[in-house]
Amino acid sequence: MEKSSLRTGYEHHLRKHGHRSLLLYPLHVEDQLVGLMELASPQPGDLNAFNARQLLDVVPLFATTLKRNLDELEDRVQSVIKRKYTAIHPAVEWRFREAALRYLEQKGRGEANLQLDEIVFHDVYPLYALVDMRDSSRIRNEAIRADISQQLGLALDVINQAGQMRPLPALEEVGHLLTRHLDGIASELRSDDGSGVLDLLRRDVEPLFAELETYGSEVAERVAAYRGALDEDLNIVYRHRKDFEQSVAAINDSISMTLDEEEKRAQVMFPHFFEKFRTDGVDHSIYVGAELHEDGLFDELYLRNLRIWQLMTTCRIEWELARVKAEVSVPLQATHLILVQHQPLSIRFRVDEKRFDVDGAYDIRYEIVKKRIDKARVRGTREHVTQPGQLAIVYSTASEAAEYKRYVDFLQTKGYFDPGMDELELEDLPGISGLKAPRVTIASKSAVDEPGPPDRPAAREIEKVLAAGQT
């Protein structure tokens, strides 16, 4: 046996980088291992027990420095986590600061049973909008089916070719299993089909390839084709799913970026709470009201401004998606929905979830509607209320309908929506009835009657709309 065969992988790594002598020293701070100091030399024998004794005086300095750097790094990591993942929205940060100061004051006085204030905002107005990918679940399943079928087909090609070279009952049996799985996936894709197929291929098929390659060049070529089709990272056929996921990510990024850009402008109009969530699409919630403002200042003019802003932003998102869909492999269709509620509600910060949620039995109905409304169908039909290229505005009261019809009429004159409006009544949902939805078609970007990007909503435009509605 060659001497090199006795070396460990780490020893091979050291020799590859020119190291022939190594000294390792554990670094401790208060009996806690914080790291490992490594010294290497290209000359054999340079580092020995004498060198190790010489390091005893400086090792504590290295250990202390490393511990300090690790602590600073952890502080920075925690800062990023808090800033990026659990940050408090700037519009309501003042309320959390007040609660924290009171907590620290109580702690300084030595009070027992310290408890942070509950963060609750009453009488705030909600605005909700959803951009969803039409048929994303079906398209995802089709991508899964295509990838699995391709991998099974390539494996079956190997087995069939090998069987032609050497007719063996064992190969015929494996081919039968592969064919049965292919037929099953073609008729119905079950949730466990992916894992089941992979288990079959890795357990009963792929281990045969090394032997089957010896049957001839035709078999070897098919084995190479199978291996060449596998994703380098996942070791499975992943082309169709990858195209789908990359397309969804690109479309979601476009929605999210457009929404963020418009939201910055909306905050300048009037401060408000804003949050968004990404799935196969993006939805966002806005809360605005006097209690959310540190000075308690609020006028319904700004609420109406935000409602028109939300309509305009929906159009801008659709215009941007028209550009993005031309660049992705799977051009998914987007649908748009806005849920209207005139009645204010209360929101409470849930410490365990690190997020705000509605508070109170009546207010919870609003959350239920939010979660179910995208599945709603037009009464008496199988048609979804949301359709590609259109905006559905869901409401439940006549006053809500009247206000939004004024806004839509105003924006139609500006070129944001095509003329006309479908008046729809929705099928009852579990625990929800009486919902209606005007649906309008979003105009092409070129239809907007202003040069360049359309103007953002302004208070003067709101006043014009309101005045028109009162005449």
Q: Helices (H), strands (E): how many in the chain? A: 14, 11
Task: Render pLDDT for 50-78 as a digit per residue (tens, 0 to 9).
Answer: 777 777 777 788 778 888 888 777 776 66
Spatial separation of the C-alpha atoms in residues 68 and 77, rounded to whole Å: 14
Task: Render pLDDT for 8-28 as a digit per residue (tens, 0 to 9).
Answer: 777 777 787 788 888 887 888
pLDDT at 470: 47
Helix (H) / strand (E) element for 374: namely none
* DSSP codes, 215-245: G-HHHHHHHHHHHHTS-TTTSS--HHHHHHH
Start-to-end Cα distance in the chain = 100
Domain ranges of the chain: 3-83, 122-135+243-470, 137-241
Spatial separation of the C-alpha atoms in residues 322 and 330, rounded to whole Å: 13
Higher pLDDT, 24 or 190: 24
Question: Residue 90: which region, alpha, beta or left (left: phi > 0; alpha: psi -120 to 50)?
Answer: alpha
Spatial separation of the C-alpha atoms in residues 152 and 226, rounded to whole Å: 9
Alpha-carbon 226 to chain mean position? 32
CATH of domain 122-135+243-470: 3.30.70.1230
Determine the average pLDDT of the residues in 239-261. Answer: 94
Amino acid at 354: K
Determine the average pLDDT of the residues in 336-355. Answer: 86
Q: Within a 10 A sphere around the Cβ of 217, how many other Cβ atoms?
A: 8
Q: Within a 10 A sphere around the Cβ of 317, how many other Cβ atoms?
A: 23
Task: Render pLDDT for 162-188 as a digit per residue (tens, 0 to 9).
Answer: 999 999 999 999 999 999 988 888 877
Any idea which of 211-220, 319-328, 344-353, 450-459 has the lowest mean pLDDT? Answer: 450-459
Confidence of residue 1 (pLDDT cuts 50, 70, 90): very low
Spatial separation of the C-alpha atoms in residues 352 and 67, rounded to whole Å: 32
Q: Decide if pLDDT at 291 tops 50.
A: yes
Residue 239 class from Cβ within 10 Å (0-12 exposed, 13-18 middle, 19+ buried)? Answer: middle
256: Cβ–Cβ under 8 A, 6 or more apart, which residues? 276, 278, 282
Q: Decide if pLDDT at 424 tops 90.
A: yes
Task: Render pLDDT for 98-135 as a digit per residue (tens, 0 to 9).
Answer: 877 777 778 777 777 777 778 888 999 999 999 999 98
Highest mean pLDDT among 71-85, 342-356, 403-417: 403-417
Confidence of residue 460 (pLDDT cuts 50, 70, 90): very low
- Collapsing DSSP to helix, strand or coil, 24 comes out as strand
Task: Render pLDDT for 311-326 as a digit per residue (tens, 0 to 9).
Answer: 999 999 999 999 998 8
376: Cβ–Cβ under 8 A, 6 or more apart, which residues? 384, 385, 394, 426, 427, 429, 435, 437
Q: Decide if pLDDT at 441 tops 60.
A: yes
457: nearest Cα among 254, 260, 265: 265
